[in-house]
Amino acid sequence: MEYTVLARRFRPQSFGEVVGQENISQALKNAISAERVAHAYLFTGARGVGKTSTARILAKSLNCAQAVQGDPCNECEICRGISVGSDVDVIEIDGASNRGIDEIRTLRANVNVKPMRCRYKIYIIDEVHMLTREAFNALLKTLEEPPPNVKFIFCTTDPQKVPDTILSRCQRFDFGTIATSSIGQRLAEIAAAEGVVVDPKAIQLVARRAAGSMRDSQSLFDQLLAFGGKSIGPHDVHRLLGTAPDERLIELGEALLGRQPARVLSLLEEAVGSGAQVSELTDQLLGYFRDLMVLASGAREAPLISVADEQRAALTQQANNALQTVLAGLQILAETKHRMKGTTVSRVLLELALVRISTLDQLDDLRELVSRMRQGQFAGSGPAVPSVARSTAPTTGPPRPPASSGDSTRPAAIGDSAASIAGPELTAAGPELTNVGSSENSGMAPESALAEPMVTIPFEAGRETEIWSQTLLQLSDMAKTNAKSVSRTAISGPNTLVLMFPKSYHFSKQSLERSPDNISRIERTLERVVGRPIRVMLADDDSAATSTVKKEVRQTEVAAAKPEKAPDAERDSLVQRAISVFGATVVKTESSVAPVKSQE
């Protein structure tokens, strides 16, 4: 005798047998009883939640002459023919394999043919979203004004791909996932009908694994009945599915949150040795950390998806005051699951993820460090602050030589000495800093707390150059590009710093004026440098103090040549014109016959 799978043998035959979709069933029964049946329906939802089964029940109810309160009798020839898919007036079409315009043209040609023995000719198109755009367009007119004895029922798992022109012509019903308890109850009924003794815990394991899909649960249960014989327990489910028991997950959770990487690896080895598959165990841990996240967020009554409800107390205890660690662990596991696709080293990836989660306490130290840096507290006990020698700064290229008169196209901006003139041999002006890497080299945000000075600089007259040099070191992007054109700075009042731009760099001043975000970025950086809020004002530099600023900047250079005056060069007409146009100053002259070596 040919065997029929459980999903087909226990398929619902009336609206009352559809599990978990009571609202939809009641709405359709009421529409049939009131004779307010639409000409087209769209059933949407995940796989295995009852869309196609409900479509068949609706077709039987519309055509059954003995229907009672919207439910078919399931005894007449029409009901039996529709149930097995052999009725000539109820046509089921697979949208995935009949998706072209030719199939829809055939459908349109047959729509006007009257039904042979039923009241309605009904078209059930499964996975309708697979139809092509041309097929949808060909269906539009027929769908909007079909013959009075024709009904359409569309089923899809992806309604976003159905055109709005189709959606607007249908009554839509969204099928939700089925509750785990409802799936478990239905599986218990199937076990009783099959004469098999199944432990309730085993039924719950299968129901949880189905993730809201009744068909998936019946397929797994069918496999389990063939695997376990007449008596089935939880260990049979774990052996079949390659999963770990709840107790193993709880032990792993305790070791992960307890910062015990050695124990984590030992438990993983035991789980794999007892038959757990790496991919299945990863899925279980994802669900476990999801449950921990829900409990740590305060949703104490939310349903659990990874373990039985009897374990809620243990998970609640683990989740106490561990929300940030749980969130980080959940993200690590999700990334690991994604990386496992197509790889042959899944176990190594899982081990890496679990060790990372079990050593997340190091992130707590980093958070404390950032908090202390923001407060400027670096003395006393606590974790050591990593530092980079202030006399060196990493660069990605060779050191740039000192600027000569040939490339003095603008006044030397404050901060050029640190960024481009001195090269890798940098002596930072002002108090000692613990420079944890600039944003340009490390990829970190320019305003990260890791780039803050350890000791603030007093905001007082005479220290403007020192303050501005440190501010430039912490700026990046367009704000720094334009700010480097500043020729002079001045303190105006107790909380205002005036940035002066030469006339030749009026464009840089305008760029900052038109971008309030860049001004705000400079002000926030100044606040970190001096330790209190500072307002920035922009002004034009009309004075002739450019040479003074140059001298101050060049004093921060290491191994730079001393400026040399060249009276003969200054009398040259071209040099005189360059000085007047660019506000430049001759600092060095080289012979065209033999270049002079700069002193180291």
pLDDT tens digits, one per residue of 457-469: 888 888 888 888 8
Query: pLDDT of 528-559, one tens digit each?
Result: 888 889 888 888 887 644 444 444 444 544 33
At residue 366, the pLDDT reads 58
Q: Tell me, what's the pLDDT at 511?
A: 80
Helix (H) or strand (E) holding 261: helix 261-273
CA distance 241 to 260: 28
pLDDT tens digits for range 507-526 = 788 888 887 788 888 888 88
Q: Which amino acid is at 318?
A: Q
Is residue 248 over pLDDT 70? yes
Average pLDDT, integer, range 408-422: 38
What's the pLDDT score for residue 360? 84
Q: What average pLDDT does this structure show over 410-418?
A: 40
Structure tokens at 519: 């001004």
Q: Residue 577 class from Cβ within 10 Å (0-12 exposed, 13-18 middle, 19+ buried)?
A: exposed
> Backbone phi, then psi, for 328, in 5-degree steps?
-65, -40
Q: How far apart are CA 78 and CA 586, in angstroms?
A: 104
pLDDT for 571:
63
Q: What is the model's pLDDT at position 376?
A: 66
pLDDT at 562 over 50: no
pLDDT recorded at residue 365: 54
**Average of per-residue pLDDT across 196-204:** 91
User: Using H for helix, E for strand and C for coil, what is the string for 357-398?
Assistant: HHCCHHHHHHHHHHHHHHHCCCCCCCCCCCCCCCCECCCCCC
Under 8 Å between Cβ of 46 and 20: no
Closest CA to 156 of 195, 123, 130, 189: 130
Q: In what order do the strands lie in the sheet with 535-540?
A: 488-491, 496-501, 535-540
- What is the bridge-based pairing of β-strands 488-491 and 496-501? antiparallel
Contact 526, 471 (CB under 8 A): yes
In order of start, what are the domains of the chain with their CATH numbers?
Answer: 6-175 (3.40.50.300), 180-241 (1.10.8.60), 246-359 (1.20.272.10), 405-560 (3.30.300.180)
Q: What is the pLDDT of residue 315?
A: 93
- Long-range own/partner contacts, residues 134-139 (CB < 8 A, 24 or more apart): 134/100, 134/101, 135/99, 135/100, 135/101, 135/103, 135/104, 136/162, 136/163, 136/165, 136/166, 138/101, 138/104, 138/105, 138/108, 139/104, 139/107, 139/108, 139/166
Higher pLDDT, 126 or 433: 126
> Rounded to the nearest 5°, which phi and psi values hold at 540?
-85, 140
Predicted confidence (pLDDT) per residue in 96-123, tens digit: 888 888 888 888 888 888 888 889 999 9
Maximum average pLDDT range among 53-57, 134-138, 448-452, 592-596: 53-57
Q: Which amino acid is at 217?
A: S
Q: Which amino acid is at 543?
A: S
Instruction: Provide the percentage of residues in the chain whose pLDDT is more than 70.
Output: 76
- pLDDT band at residue 227 using 50, 70 and 90 as cut-offs: confident
Average pLDDT for 426-430: 34
Q: Which of 137-146, 190-199, 411-420, 488-497 has the lowest mean pLDDT?
A: 411-420
Closest CA to 52 of 136, 127, 149, 162: 127
Residue 374 has a pLDDT of 73
Residue 411's pLDDT band (cuts 50, 70, 90): very low
Predicted TM-score (pTM) of the model is 0.59
Q: Rounded to an integer, what distance in angstroms lies between the CA atom of residue 291 and that of residue 289?
A: 5
8 burial class (0-12, 13-18, 19+ CB within 10 angstroms)?
Answer: exposed
Q: What are φ and ψ of residue 5, in 5° steps?
A: -65, 155
Nearest Cα residue to 394 out of 430, 433, 420, 423: 423
Mean pLDDT of 416-434: 35
pLDDT confidence bin for 407, thresholds 50/70/90: very low
Q: What is the pLDDT of residues 118-135, one digit of tens each?
A: 899 999 999 999 999 999
* H or E segment and range at residue 134: helix 133-144
pLDDT (tens digit per residue) in 274-299: 999 999 999 999 999 999 999 999 88
Other C-beta atoms lying within 10 Å of the C-beta of residue 311: 18
- DSSP code string of 168-225: TTSEEEEEPPPPHHHHHHHHHHHHHHHT-EE-HHHHHHHHHHHTT-HHHHHHHHHHHH
Q: What is the 3-state secondary structure (H, E, C) of 517-557?
A: HHHHHHHHHHHHHHCCCCEEEEEECCCCCHHHHHHHHHCCC
- Please provide the distance, in angstroms rounded to a whole number, between the alpha carbons at the two ends of the chain: 98
Burial of 41 (0-12, 13-18, 19+ CB in 10 A): buried
What is the side-by-side order of every strand in the sheet holding 40-45?
A: 90-94, 121-126, 150-156, 40-45, 171-175
Write the pLDDT tens digit of every residue in 330-379: 999 999 999 998 888 999 999 999 999 999 875 555 566 666 777 765 44
Radius of gyration of the CA atoms of the chain, in A: 38
Closest CA to 155 of 49, 62, 63, 61: 49
The DSSP code for 119 is: S
List all residues 6 or more positions away from 515 whose beta carbon is below 8 Å from its beta carbon.
Answer: 478
